Amino acid sequence: MAKPATSYRKKKVEKDELPDDSELYRDPTNTLYYTNQGLLDDAVPVLLVDGYNVCGYWMKLKKHFMKGRLDVARQKLVDELVSFSMVKEVKVVVVFDALMSGLPTHKEDFAGVDVIFSGETCADAWIEKEVVALREDGCPKVWVVTSDVCQQQAAHGAGAYIWSSKALVSEIKSMHKEVEKMMQETRSTSFQGRLLKHNLDSEVVDALKDLRDKLSENETKR
C-alpha cells in the first residue's frame, strides 16, 4: 500500500543553511512560529504529533480515550490542532496507529491539518522516518510532540526538536487565552468607539461597560 502523500515537504536547500545540532534542545516556544523568516523565506515549520500519546495525557481527551471512545478523543484533538495551526502558522501533522484505531492506512485533511493513520508501522516509527525525510528535504524546523522517552530520543537523533504532550497542551491553552484577550479588546474598543460617537462622558462609558460585563456573567451562569 502506498504511503500517504506529504505535500508539505519543501524543496531541498543547501546543508549549510540548516540549524546546527546544538539548537536541537533549545526551548522552542520562542522560535517555532517564526522560522519562515530569514534565509529560507518559504520554509514552513512542521509539527509532528503522536496523537494517542497526547490523548492519553490531556484529561479532557483521556476520559474518552480510556473508555475506548477513540473517535471522540481523536476529533477533539484534531479540532484543537486546527485552531493551533491557524493561529500559530505552522504545518501540523497528527499521526495515529491505524491498527489501534481499527482503520486502514490512510490520510485525511481537516482544515489544513494532516491526519495520518499509519498501518505499516506504529505512529512513532512513522514519525521518526518522516523527521529524516523532512530534514533531507531541507525543512529547517521540525518538532515532534510526544512524552514517550524512547521516541523523544529517536526523534532527537533524527534531527527534530522535542515537545512533550504537556508542553503542547500548555501552548494550546495559552493560545486560547491570547485569542480570547484579543477578542475582548476588539469588542471593548468597538463598543467604546460607538458610544463616544454620541459624545457620552467617559464615566458613562465605563459604567455601561461594567453593566455589559455583568449581563454577560449572568448570561453565562444560566
Question: CATH number, domain at 69?
Answer: 3.40.50
Q: How far apart are CA 104 and CA 111, in angstroms?
A: 21
Residue 4 belongs to some domain of the structure: no
- Element housing 109 (H / E): strand 106-110
pLDDT over 90 (residue 26): no
Number of separate domains in the chain: 1
Domain assignment of residue 209, yes or no: no
Which of 8-12, 148-152, 204-208 shows the lowest per-residue confidence on average (mean pLDDT)?
A: 8-12
- Beta-strand pair 46-50/91-97: parallel
Whether residue 196 is contained in a domain is answered as no
What pLDDT band is residue 46 in, cutting at 50, 70 and 90?
very high
